[in-house]
Structure 1
């Protein structure tokens, strides 16, 4: 997937350079029309440059260094005259220069054989679009997470209060994103609806996307729809399935909302198992409790979840209801 995006972006840069060259030629022609002397100056500079190169190759001039020095002084004088003319006619002195979108890499995408920051940003933007989270992550991220919705009062038979529990999960999530490349760990969020599972999933997604990771978010129901299309519809984009298998981080939200069929179980297992085998990390969230997962899913799925994911239980009062009453 990354190679596809890199190729697309490099094509964009090529078009940017072509456009920059076209626009420069328009500006040059404009100046030549309005200030004919500048056309003459450019021709003189070009001619002097050619003469210098010819003289170096032919070795006909006795004191070549003195000759080159005198010719360069002529070029300098001509350039000064050119800038003075541009200023006189109200043009910026760099008006005839090529204008790149990125001055650092000159729209190549590279600086010293490394990606320019503008290239990395384009790549990150692509990942955001691919993730299906582009808009929501502006509102849901680590900076906007609100602990006030979680009570500090002990909750049922849980060892920690809802506030203590979510603070612990939050800290774990922050650390997880910081050390993402050092672990093969996947995460499993479970608990009743309205407790921040999806919000915290989005926090993790944004942090990883900003690090240049390929993150894809899908609900379990949408995931099954994508797989069905890829398997049975000739017109479908089969790359979608590969992207689900190969992205750096796959988020499957609302496990339990997908169709309950042997086929959906089989495909869900294939996704989870393939990513585990390929050391590709995941985050799965569900409104089910662990007992519900064990009762509703085949053993080969539950064994993968229980054996290969770090489990986090969310509990407390429904945040959506709290927000509604606050209004």
Structure 2
């Protein structure tokens, strides 16, 4: 589920097209201003000439100080332009470039790294490949029901019925979503098959996607298969973006941890992913059928200690509810 070279190139062409639209829009706004304020065009030309003279003088005399006089003249022109715009009811930035993404200026990159907006575009493509969009339309908080959870028998050691317990869990999940912009907590959901781990995870993923966060979803087996394709085989059509997105997306979801074939490669990559995201303050949600003891048996101590000590671990209880629906 990594971006192919052709998909990457298609995204970059989208950015090039958007830049052309940005330039056309800027020129259109300038022409509108010139029509209402004829002297504005002359002021712009004068500022451009002064800027060029300043640069030439600095290069000729190899000194920054010689350009100070030009700088003051240019600033005077800028103030005059701002005054004219205000007098004629135009915003101060009306003649400047306006971008869909001001952070990368519609280039897709910031300081040589992929911008958040590029991640969102890439994830949209990846989700189209995986059909996860259809799943999230069904598995979300609007469709969550407590009717499948027992409200008679109290859970041992907790003192609540499973119904009451799940009410608390849902409140925690909703608080997690509300606070996500300030504190990207990581969560481990664990419990038997069919108790709602994946459904809860999808509820959170859908809510955060709707708020504009970059959310990447993988089953555990699929995640390590995709990483292996990039790292071990270096397939020519593989753009390699998967590693970057896994490390930098706002929320990474790893579903069904423990269903993959656990070996040295998986242990190494899982530690890398978990550790990098914790250090970067990025949120991760892991769901698994394994209890904490089984996790210690399956994975290295470095992995389990980080999950158990630095994640919020949430056990889920009850019977398989999928047969009740």
**TM-score normalised to the size of structure 1?**
0.63
The match for 1:13 is 18
**Larger gyration radius, structure 1 or structure 2:** 1
Q: 1:268-288 CA distances to partner (integer Å, 9 max, x unpaired)?
A: 111111111121110000011
Q: d(CA) in 2 for partners of 1:251 and 1:168?
A: 21
Once the 2 structures are TM-superposed, how far is the Cα of residue 53 of structure 1 from its aligned partner?
Answer: 7.0
Bigger drift between 209-218 and 124-133 goes to 124-133
The match for 2:264 is 262
The match for 1:172 is 172
Asked whether the equivalents of residues 256 and 289 of structure 2 are also in contact (C-alpha less than 8 Å), the reply is yes
The answer on 1:137 being equivalent to 2:136 is yes
After superposition, residues 44-193 of structure 1 pair within 5 angstroms as: 110=99, 127-131=123-127, 132=130, 133-159=132-158, 160-193=160-193
**1:316 aligned counterpart, secondary structure:** coil
Q: 1:33-83 CA distances to partner (integer Å, 9 max, x unpaired)?
A: xxxxxxxxxxxxxxxx99x979xx9xxxxxxxxxxxxxxxxxxxxxxxxxx
**TM-score normalised to the size of structure 2?**
0.63
Once the 2 structures are TM-superposed, how far is the Cα of residue 184 of structure 1 from its aligned partner?
Answer: 3.5
Give the RMSD, CA atoms, in angstroms: 3.6
Q: d(CA) in 1 for partners of 2:133 and 2:16?
A: 23
Once the 2 structures are TM-superposed, how far is the Cα of residue 162 of structure 1 from its aligned partner?
Answer: 1.3
Match of 1:248 among 247, 250, 275: 250
**2:265 aligned counterpart, secondary structure:** helix
The structure-2 alpha-carbon separation of the partners of 1:140 and 1:179, relative to structure 1 and needing over 3 Å to count, comes to same
The match for 1:229 is 229
Q: d(CA) in 2 for partners of 1:189 and 1:112?
A: 35
Asked whether the equivalents of residues 155 and 161 of structure 1 are also in contact (C-alpha less than 8 Å), the reply is yes
The answer on 1:275 being equivalent to 2:277 is yes
The structure-2 alpha-carbon separation of the partners of 1:275 and 1:264, relative to structure 1 and needing over 3 Å to count, comes to same
Q: d(CA) in 2 for partners of 1:198 and 1:112?
A: 33
Once the 2 structures are TM-superposed, how far is the Cα of residue 9 of structure 1 from its aligned partner?
Answer: 4.7
The match for 1:219 is 219
Asked whether the equivalents of residues 187 and 285 of structure 2 are also in contact (C-alpha less than 8 Å), the reply is yes
Q: d(CA) in 1 for partners of 2:145 and 2:152?
A: 17
The match for 1:87 is none
Is there any run of 5+ residues in structure 1 with no aligned partner, and where?
21-48, 58-104
Once the 2 structures are TM-superposed, how far is the Cα of residue 125 of structure 1 from its aligned partner?
Answer: 6.5
